[in-house]
A = this chain, B = another copy of it.
Amino acid sequence: MSILYDERVDGALPKVDKAVLLAELQQHLPDLEILHRREDLKPYECDGLSAYRTTPMLVLLPRHVEEVEAILKLCHRRKVPVVARGAGTGLSGGALPLEQGVLLVMARFNRILDVNPEARLARVQPGVRNLAISQAAAPHGLYYAPDPSSQIACSIGGNVAENAGGVHCLKYGLTVHNLLSVEIVTVEGERLTLGSDALDSPGFDLLALFTGSEGMLGVVTEVTVKLLPKPQVAKVLLASFDSVEKAGRAVGDIIAAGIIPGGLEMMDNLAIRAAEDFIHAGYPVEAEAILLCELDGVEADVHDDCERVRQVLEAAGATEVRLARDEAERVRFWAGRKNAFPAVGRISPDYYCMDGTIPRRELPGVLRGIAELSAEYGLRVANVFHAGDGNMHPLILFDANQPGELERAEALGGKILELCVKVGGSITGEHGVGREKINQMCAQFNADELTTFHAVKAAFDATGLLNPGKNIPTLHRCAEFGAMHVHHGQLPFPDLERF
């Protein structure tokens, strides 16, 4: 994938002398771990979105919050841009460094400070891995609910920055719904606590504002998360359909029946075949679409819900509904889903993963629209996604070595996101905007809305030094890009066709 981002559009960043900055940091913070040689900087060139690469000027690896405060104070005074980075697993380039900036790597903040089963919370440093929190809580029968696919590697600080989701966020919410408070350091090097251990905080809800702000409002130095009791039992139903639209409608039917599954995932035929070839999960390879519906809770309740879901699925036209016979089969069903991305990677030289979110009721129409666009652009699209919350991950298959295919894939991706916005959805569900989707933000929001975002950004960071060029596009960028806001399906300007 080429780099769509154009530095010029967001204005030239101030030039800083690397040697001067390095000397000053070493003088003020003699214990701070600093990487500055080209070969040491190399591993930090990109995050999980490897198509975008920049070499940072310096990489700083603080261990103490006082160091973070001092770094930010110094960078603020010197007008040096700062990009914070967690585990670097993000999929939208949110932690992409800047040539003229420092990369603040929070990996050394890796301690679990407190697990309190009575208050059902854990206080952890931002570099702690998502899964490590659940592991630390396990002896108390508790876990941390949001479970992005990268949970073995991604850090909770990055989860806060991106408002990460996962397979179970339909029932248990996104990161923002599972936080009590964060400690942050502002661009000026001041430490603030947002939120509290209590139910609600007076004043404005700055915790929610901060969550998902992609490093633009401050640097997370501590996180207090809610813990939930582990469900007694979990069962999975696999339903086959002879059309993706029927499967899409069944998703709405399950929710409308008053059932909130622990997970509700959909795969289309291309994804089913790829996953089955790779994992041998026991999927029906002739099905046009399958739904995986997990029900969790207490035994009696889960049994009851399984029967109700089966009825809904059959009424929606499922050709077959199978309950995983045992735990081994349940794990196999999920293994196919969880490995669908690498499985698709085996059948195509390249693929481009989208992250649009739409109202559930629009699933059948949008799936039909994607199929039509796929035919129009001559590129295969595999659909694998969190159907229950309308968070789609169409994978566009292409071969970057074939002239024109990369451009066609990008154009098709843009069209798919446009379709999501048209039906009242958004351009990202859980992967964030980052650098990748910054231009699409011009289509998602109008000038008044973007101006409000900029005003909020300025309230925290008037200098614009925190993670510039990500998440919120400048109005200038949107004008250059030529995209216009799509509202309620209207295309106010023919210019949109350039999108």
Please measure, in the bound complex, the distance between the C-alpha atom of A149 and the C-alpha atom of B471, giving whole angstroms: 40
Q: Say yes or no: A258 contacts B460, CB within 8 Å.
A: no
| A452-470 Cβ-contact flags toward B at 8 Å (1 or 0) | 1101111110000000000
A304: Cβ under 8 A from any B Cβ: yes
Chain A positions 436-477 with a Cβ under 8 Å from a chain B Cβ: 437, 441, 444-445, 448-449, 452-453, 455-460, 471-472
Residue contact B208 to A205, C-beta cutoff 8 Å: yes
Q: Judging by beta carbons under 8 Å apart, are B452 and A357 in contact?
A: no
**Neighbour of A229 across the interface among B197, B258, B390, B426, CB < 8 A:** B258
Give complex CA distance A428, B203 in Å.
Answer: 10
B contact residues around A453 at 8 Å (CB):
203-204, 206
A329 to chain B, nearest CB (A): 24
Residue pair A202, B120 in contact (C-beta under 8 Å): no
Please tell me if A285 contacts chain B, counting CB pairs below 8 Å.
no
A471 proximity list for chain B (CB < 8 A): 202-203
Whether A429 sits at the interface, judged by CB under 8 Å, is: yes
Instruction: Check if A408 is an interface residue, CB within 8 A of chain B.
Output: no
- Min distance, Cβ A52 to any Cβ of chain B, angstroms: 18
Say if the beta carbon of A174 comes within 8 Å of chain B: yes
Contacts of A252 in B (CB 8 A): 118-119
Task: Select which of B229, B359, B445, B459 is within 8 A of A452 by beta carbon.
Answer: B459
- Find the B residue at minimum CB distance from A425: B198
A298 in the interface (beta carbon within 8 A): yes
Whether B192 lies near A449 (C-beta < 8 A) is yes
Interface residue A256 (Cβ < 8 Å from any Cβ of B): yes
Residues of B within 8 A of A12 (CB): none
Q: Which of A38-46, A209-217, A343-351 lies on the face that meets chain B? A: A209-217
Question: Chain B's nearest CB lies how many Å from the CB of A313?
Answer: 16
Q: Which of A198, A206, A433: most chain B Cβ within 10 A?
A: A198
Q: Which residues of B contact A455 (CB under 8 A)?
A: 458-460
Contact A211 B205 (CB under 8 A): yes
Copies in the complex: 2
CB proximity of A216 to chain B, nearest CB, Å = 8
Interface residue from B190, B212, B303, B429 paired with A205 (Cβ < 8 Å): B212
Residue of B nearest to A199 (CB): B389
State the CA gap A391–B200 with chains docked (Å).
9
CB of A48 within 8 A of chain B?
Answer: no
**Residues of the B chain whose Cβ atoms lie less than 8 Å from the Cβ of A217:** 204
Given contacts A211-B205, A301-B297, A301-B300, contact A120 B256 (CB under 8 A): yes
Chain B min CB distance to A8 (Å): 23
**Nearest chain-B residue to A459 (Cβ)?**
B455
* B198 contacts A448, C-beta separation under 8 Å: no
Most buried by B among A205, A449, A455, A472: A205
Residues of B within 8 A of A441 (CB): 202-203
* Across the A-B interface, the 6 shortest Cβ-Cβ residue pairs: A229-B258, A208-B208, A300-B300, A455-B459, A301-B301, A198-B357
A–B pairs, 29, beta carbons within 8 Å:
A118-B252, A119-B252, A141-B258, A163-B205, A165-B199, A165-B200, A169-B199, A174-B199, A190-B448, A192-B448, A192-B449, A196-B426, A197-B425, A198-B357, A198-B429, A200-B357, A200-B428, A202-B432, A202-B441, A203-B445, A203-B453, A204-B217, A204-B457, A204-B472, A205-B211, A208-B208, A298-B304, A452-B460, A455-B460
